[in-house]
Structure 1
Amino acid sequence: MTEMILLDPVRVLVGPDQPLQEKGAALLREGRLEAFGDQAREAARTAGIGSTAAGHQLLAPCLVDVHSLLPEPFQGPGETLESLVRSAAAGGYGQLALLPEASGNRRELPDRLRGFERSDCDVAVHLWGGFSQGGQGEQLTPHADLIEAGAVGLSDGNNMPPVPLLDRAFTLGESGVSPVLIPPLDAVLRGEGLLREGPEALRAGWPTDPLSSETLPLSQLAQLQQEHPERKLTLMGLSTAAGVGLLKQMSLRPAATVSWWHVLTSNSSSAATATSWFVSPSLGNRTDREALVEGLSEGLIQAIAVHASPLDDEECLLPPDQRQRGIAGHQHVLPSLWQTLVVSSGWTAERLWDVLSFGPSRILGVEEECLTQGSNRWILFDPDVTWRPTRSDPWASKAANQPCLDQPLSGRVVQCGLRTPAFPAD
């Protein structure tokens, strides 16, 4: 974008705890916010710039993804850091927080936190430092050193460390006020289960995941938070109605996140396929999905995460029970949730942004996104645009396990001020 554009009228959401402006105005110059409201109109009039009506569109702060995975950030046939930040920005995301991987990118020492900054990109990439050595849950990594080196917090990714090791870490307190992101997931109880236990999973014929694989570790984590109220325990990826119920009963509640896919669908959905069913934590039924939405509405759950887990084409050829669980696709999140939560459930744009941007920022302990003059950190979302995601789109993720590919989506980020890496030469 090199020209000057006056959006008038346009819906404007400036930042957290601010009401949506239904008939606002914004002047954009070379990708930056020049002015708002009457000041924008006067500046455009002086420059002889006509207005562009965008009354149904929304000018808003960038979104924030509180946790995702990226197995091969710098090379490989699938998703890389370059392709991820490009597709994430196209989906409205201005910040990403990457989890340690089960192998390779463990980020257990301060020097492993380097190399993720790009001078040609405005998408901020935060890194979760590894909680235990090798993700084995036996020995702690140097927590204080990792935090001092820039880790946004500590996590073992999809693995829950043993409670005694968590207790030891919280007693030592080297994480300080930084978040410790833990999934309430007992891998032994889950076993080979692919779908949450219930009639839907039985009818589908896949191995089932018992409810206790979430509720038992959740009860243990609740007790741990009671014993260490000064620690910032964060529950990663609640997935069941029972889990939400337990969270509601806690007198001292840790922060919590939920994956966008668990908010959007369930294992009883007719649209579910072998590609999109198998995620971590396991997908529950319609009652679970409704409880998660209610938990978000009541503030029990503070953030919707993308929790992308990109796979390449070769990995996706494996049977579902032999490949890594998960889906990817940052560009699919905002359109899907807008339709599900705003259009169908009556949410306001302010509430949606609270769980997609402001809440995630608060969990990460970073400054909340907001629209400011002179900044290029903005997105323009058109809820009425219909489009069909394809992998041939240069802005698309390289992941092969995107659940909405080749399906019509309503709503799209049509403009974004963020700089992203240039496309590689053919």
Structure 2
Amino acid sequence: MKLLIKNAKLFYANKLINCDVLIEDGKFKHIAENIVATDAKIVDAGFKLVTPGLIDVHVHFREPGQVHKETIKTGTLASAHGGFTTVGAMPNVIPVPDNIEKFQEQRKLNQANSVINTLQYAPVTKNETSDELVDIEKLVELGAIGFSNDGHGIMNAETMYEAMERIAAVNSHLAAHVEDKNLFNHGVINFGIASKRLGLPGIKQVAETSQLARDLVLAKETGVHYHVCHISTKDGVQLVRMAKDAGINVTCEVSPHHLLLSDQDIVTDDANFKMNPPLRSESDRQALIAGLQDGTIDMIATDHAPHAENEKNQGFAKSAFGITGIETSFPLMYTHLVKTGLISIEKLLQLMTENPAQDFNLSQAGFIKLGQKADFTIIDLDDNYEIKRTDFLSKGTNSPFIGQKVFGKIEQTYVNGNCVYSK
């Protein structure tokens, strides 16, 4: 089968070029102007953006165990709707895939139900909460994208050190939710202006930064690729910046909601603004943008966390942490970062394609290359529309961005040259 994309504004070799793209047998075959292929199906891109499929290294698909929130099928359909062709699924499902048998079952579920490429994390420790390490070496052989205890900080430094040593030895990645639960103080919101106004228990920034500082020292000692999930504080960005300057093998991600919102935006007890880590201060938000601009922050990841409506309508004190995000990520980032001049479109695409592919050794994702499988997305950057709950393909509609006007409509998403989403 041949597919010819005519009149593409293609993100290729770190720049935008006007060209045609020929795809044959699910792979990129030819890139040039005015390609003629009489036996190909033709899609006229109309000089809309054609980019490598977006990559999100941090999503939650809830299956098995919590399918009322999301399933692998709905989560990957939502991902395709958002322009994503490759995602890293966190292991906080029930049961946690913390041994060989359960991990193999999880991968089979992913493969049977995904419309995109769903890569699977393994936990660092049994059940994500113990100090007993999983069979790191075997789980890497079985295809784990990396290791993460997801929403749980690893409290025991000895456990973390041993995990880093073993993960480094197999050239894998440790993705850390940095949180000292002893400093979390049963908080539900950032300790700051909103927590005081609403009378809610606050989460201090030191709960993130104290464990991050410890882990960076351990990462320096072990040489592991240490990846910081959803960084949220000014001091955290500075710690990563200093660690990179010192040659430590560290990368980090930031979520769209932390880039665009602060606790100043929380005006009522609305749990659509409740996530972990929480929305921080405006100075923290500005530091995150600066970290994105100077390369301290390597990528954007949504931390897509769908919940049922009754789990998010009980106010901060009783509702679940997390928001859905994979369907709104690109248009929000394009509208608020690129169109405002904070970063270039090329920079945004690097953050959402090339950088995660390189940092997580994803050889078949993140780039448009001849001979590589044809995962790509067509986006109309000029299409201005409103984010509506009824447009979501995810089961979760728990988003503080509903009602916002954005630019950057996902037109079509392709995996292996096959269309998996079309508006």
2:221 to 218, 227, 239: 227
Name the residue aligned to 1:320.
316
Instruction: Give the 5 Å matches for 1:243-392.
Output: 243-250=236-243, 251-253=246-248, 254-269=250-265, 274-367=270-363, 368-372=365-369, 375-392=373-390
Match of 1:11 among 5, 9, 24: 9
Unaligned runs of 5+ in 2: none
4 and 61 in structure 1: CA distance in 2 versus 1, 3 angstrom threshold? closer
Q: Is residue 112 from structure 1 mapped to residue 102 from structure 2 by the alignment?
A: yes
Displacement of 1:65 after TM fit? 0.7
Q: Please list the CA deviations of residues 123-142 of structure 1 after superposition, one character each: whole Å capped at 9, or x if unmatched.
A: 11111111111222321111
Q: How does 1:101-250 map to 2 (within 5 A)?
A: 101=92, 104-113=94-103, 114=105, 115-118=108-111, 122-161=115-154, 162-172=156-166, 176-229=170-223, 231-250=224-243
TM-score by length of 2: 0.87
> Is the Cα contact below 8 Å between 1:89 and 1:420 reproduced in 2?
no
CA RMSD of aligned residues (A): 3.1
- What is the distance in 1 between the residues matched to 2:45 and 2:321? 44
Cα distance in 1 for partners of 2:110, 2:381 equals 32
Describe the shift of the 1:136–1:4 C-alpha distance in structure 2 as closer, same or farther (beyond 3 A). Answer: closer
The DSSP-based 3-state class of the residue aligned with 2:67 is coil
Contact 1:154 1:175 in 2 (8 A): no
Contact persistence 1:74–1:80 (CA under 8 A) = no
CA distance in 2, matches of 1:11, 1:420: 18
**Structure 2 CA distance for partners of 1:6 and 1:182, relative to 1, 3 Å:** closer
Q: CA deviation at 1:66?
A: 0.6
The one-letter code sitting in structure 1 at the alignment partner of 2:321 is R
Q: Kindly state the Cα deviation for residue 193 of structure 1 after the two structures are TM-superposed.
A: 2.1
CA distance in 2, matches of 1:334, 1:174: 32
In 2, the alpha carbon distance for the partners of 1:60 and 1:111 equals 37
| Residue 386 of structure 2 is aligned to residue 396 of structure 1 | no
Aligned residues: 411
In structure 1, what is the Cα distance between the partners aligned to 2:311 and 2:266? 25
Q: Do the aligned partners of residues 339 and 166 (structure 1) sit closer, same or farther apart at CA in structure 2, a change above 3 Å counting?
A: same
Which 10-residue stretch deviates more, 80-89 or 188-197? Answer: 188-197
Check whether the contact 1:12–1:20 (CA below 8 A) recurs between aligned residues: yes
- Cα distance change of structure 1 residues 49 and 111 upon mapping to structure 2, 3 Å threshold: closer
Query: Does residue 1:83 correspond to 2:74, yes or no?
Result: yes
Q: 1:157: Cα distance to partner?
A: 0.6
> Do residues 54 (structure 1) and 46 (structure 2) align?
yes
Residue pair 1:100, 1:107 contacting (<8 A) in 2 also: yes
Residue 204 to residue 392, structure 1, CA distance change in 2 (3 Å): same
Q: 1:252 to 1:124 in 2, by over 3 A?
A: same
Instruction: Single out whichever of 164-173 and 220-229 deviates more from structure 2.
Output: 164-173
Give the CA deviation at 1:265. 1.6
Name structure 1 gaps, 5 residues minimum: none
Once residues 44 and 420 of structure 2 are traced to their aligned partners in structure 1, the CA distance between those partners, rounded to angstroms, is 29
Measure the CA separation in 1 of the matches of 2:138 and 2:374: 33
Aligned mates of 2:114, 2:55 — CA distance in 1: 15
Deviation larger for 133-142 or 109-118: 109-118
User: Secondary structure of 1:77's partner?
Assistant: coil
What SS is found at the alignment partner of 2:139?
helix
- SS of alignment partner, residue 104 of structure 1: coil
Question: Which residue of structure 2 lines up, in the alignment, with residue 95 of structure 1?
Answer: 86
Distance 2:148 2:239 in 1: 22
* Paired letter, 1:207: P
Q: What is the one-letter code of the residue matched to 1:105?
A: P
Report the Cα offset of residue 74 of structure 1.
7.6
The answer to whether the 8 Å contact 1:316/1:400 transfers is: no
- Give the residue type in structure 2 aligned to 1:151: A
Runs of 4+ with deviation above 4 angstroms:
2-6, 27-35, 46-53, 119-122, 172-175, 270-273, 372-375, 419-423
Change (3 A) 1:205 1:31: farther
Flag the 1:108–1:347 CA change in 2: closer, same or farther, 3 A.
same
Whether contact under 8 Å (2:273, 2:400) holds in the other structure is no
SS in 1 for 2:36: helix
d(CA) in 2 for partners of 1:52 and 1:359? 28
**Is the counterpart of residue 413 in structure 1 residue 410 in structure 2?**
yes
Cα 1:237/1:29, change in 2 over 3 Å: same
Structure-1-length-normalised TM-score: 0.86
Find the aligned partners of 1:24 and 1:265 in 2 and give their Cα distance.
37
Instruction: Say yes or no: does 1:24 pair with 2:16.
Output: no
Amino acid at match of 1:86: L
Report how far residue 121 of structure 1 moved. Answer: 5.0
Cα distance, 1:77 vs structure 2: 2.9
Aligned-partner SS, 1:97: strand
**Aligned positions of 1:36-51 closer than 5 A:** 36-38=31-33, 41-43=34-36
Report the CA distance between 1:98 and its aligned residue. Answer: 1.0
Post-superposition shift, 1:6? 5.2
- Percent identity at matched positions? 21
Query: Which is worse superposed, 67-76 or 288-297?
Result: 67-76
Write out per-residue CA displacement over residues 199-241 of structure 1, whole angstroms, 9 at most, x where no aligned residue: 3442343322112111211111121112212x11211121011
Shift of 1:89: 0.8
